[in-house]
Structure 1
Amino acid sequence: MAERQANPRPVRWRWRANPLRRRSDLVEGWVLLITALLMTVGAALAGVLAYQAAQDSARQQREALRPTSAKLLDNAHEMSGGGVYTGDSGQEWAHVQWRSPDGDTHRSTAQVAEGSEAGSHIRIWTNAEGAKVTEPPGPTLMAFQSGVFGVLVAGAWSGTSLVLCWGVRAGLNRQRAAQWERGWAVVEPQWRHRTP
């Protein structure tokens, strides 16, 4: 039994010189190569830049807020309407009061440890105007959220690259089909006359 010999001919890429290669084949080869680069290098770069932008934005937001000491105005369980127990978290809502940097007094409600007594102090977060805001995420959560954002941007980049590639290839396929139709319209009558 004769052994099979490896094909010594090099792999022929779409952009190599070839008498059967059409201009659209060359364009398609470059489109596929560019799409592959956009989906690998481009998506990775877009993801890293999005991650860094999200980190910077979150850091700036955190720096614009400040922790403030707030005083409980009533016992957590004696809050008007009864303390609202939030599941098994061991937290209740209570009325609190604090002063903003300009000296104004503010009041709101905040979650406090169950059974907290009036007059005790808790930490809340305020903005530049002294209004109570949600506590900003810590470094770990900030990194996780930025990472998710980076992955989503990289995925969107890759998806957009694929859609654009598909659109260009669909246009090239329509162009090739039209060329085949024109070529067949020239050749088909000649073959018809040869049929007995």
Structure 2
Amino acid sequence: MRGWRWRRSPLRRRSDVVEAWTVLVVAVLILVGAPLAGAAAAGWAHDEARSVAAEQRAERHRVRAEVVGTTDSLPSMQAGGQHAYRATVRWTEPDGTRHTATTRVPADTERGETVDAWFDDRGQSVLPPVDGSAVWQHTLTLGTCAAGGAVLVVLFGHSLVRRVALRRRTAEWDRAWARTEPERTRRRA
């Protein structure tokens, strides 16, 4: 019989009613609460990632530089999973001053090629600023993790309530059997 925990019955116990209400609350929290938690976390993460990207764009600048020498023999990983080497590059500013620095260049770059190099305000070599796809990737990752985490917390809470309800139900059955057993087995307590 469906819905027997909601109907009045001599077999229905308080733990059955609590468990029925818990299932309803869990369903609402999973279907409504978890997506809302994920959306809220994603919104916060998107705003934060956009502000970090804007800060990086403001403090970093790109120059077109000529590769004049390499300094690394082993590649390192760069954003996007590409291999990069550290190399010495040279460029000329619009005011005519020449600069030489060490920066990351793609692995297949030869001496004499022109590459894009990124530097901060202090002249230190840095990675390019975060782009829009990285912002959205961060947003979706945090939103998905928050929604999944909310579902796990709800399911964990539900398992705790079920465990307590089962213990109470077992205790109620034991008390009922203690009252009924002498009549059924003809033993005296």
Structure 1 residue 41: deviation in Å? Answer: 0.6
Other-structure match for 1:193: 186
**Is the contact between residue 73 and residue 97 of structure 1 (CA under 8 Å) also seen in structure 2?**
yes
Structure 1 residues 34 and 129, CA, compared in 2 at 3 Å: closer, same or farther?
A: farther
TM-score, with normalisation over the residues of structure 2?
0.73
- For residue 61 of structure 2, give the secondary structure of its aligned residue in structure 1: strand
Alpha-carbon RMSD: 3.4
Q: Partner residue of 2:154?
A: 161
> Cα distance, 1:140 vs. partner?
2.1
Which of 24, 30, 34 matches 1:33?
A: 24
Correspondence 1:107-146 to 2 at 5 A: 107-112=101-106, 114-117=109-112, 122-124=116-118, 126=120, 131-146=124-139
Matches within 5 A, 1:169-188: 169-188=162-181
- The residue number in structure 1 matching 2:51 is 60
From 70, 79, 83, give the equivalent of 1:79.
70
How far, CA to CA, are the matches of 2:84 and 2:27 in structure 1? 52
Structure with greater contact order relative to length (CA < 8 Å, sep ≥ 6) = 2
Q: Tell me which amino acid in the other structure corresponds to 1:161.
A: V
Identity of aligned residues (%): 30
Structure 1: runs of 5 or more not aligned: 1-9, 99-104
Q: Which runs of 4+ in 1 moved over 6 A?
A: none
Residue matched to 2:95: none
TM-fit CA distance, 1:122:
2.7
CA distance in 2, matches of 1:160, 1:172: 18
Please identify, of 105-114 and 154-163, the stretch whose mean Cα deviation from structure 2 is larger.
Answer: 105-114
- 1:172 CA displacement: 0.4
Residues 90 and 193 of structure 1: CA distance in aligned 2, closer, same or farther (over 3 Å):
closer
1:132-168, Cα deviation, whole Å (9 max, x unpaired): 4333432123212321221122111111111110110
Question: Cα distance 1:26–1:43, how it changes in 2: closer, same or farther (>3 A)?
Answer: same
TM normalised by structure 1 equals: 0.71
Residues 1:17 and 2:17 aligned together: no
Per-residue deviation, residues 159-195 of structure 1 (Å, max 9, x unmatched): 111111011011000001011111111211222227x
Q: Residues 13 and 184 (structure 1 numbering): CA distance in 2 closer, same or farther, change over 3 Å?
A: closer
Pair 1:129–1:15, CA change in 2 (3 A): farther
Asked if structure 1 preserves the Cα contact closer than 8 Å seen for 2:37 and 2:150, the reply is yes
- Cα deviation code 1:60-113 (max 9, x no counterpart): 1111113313475851xx32466x5679x6854213589xxxxxx995422256
User: 1:18 Cα deviation (Å)?
Assistant: 3.0
**How many residue pairs align between the two structures?**
174
Consecutive unaligned residues of structure 2, counting only runs of 5 or more, are 92-98
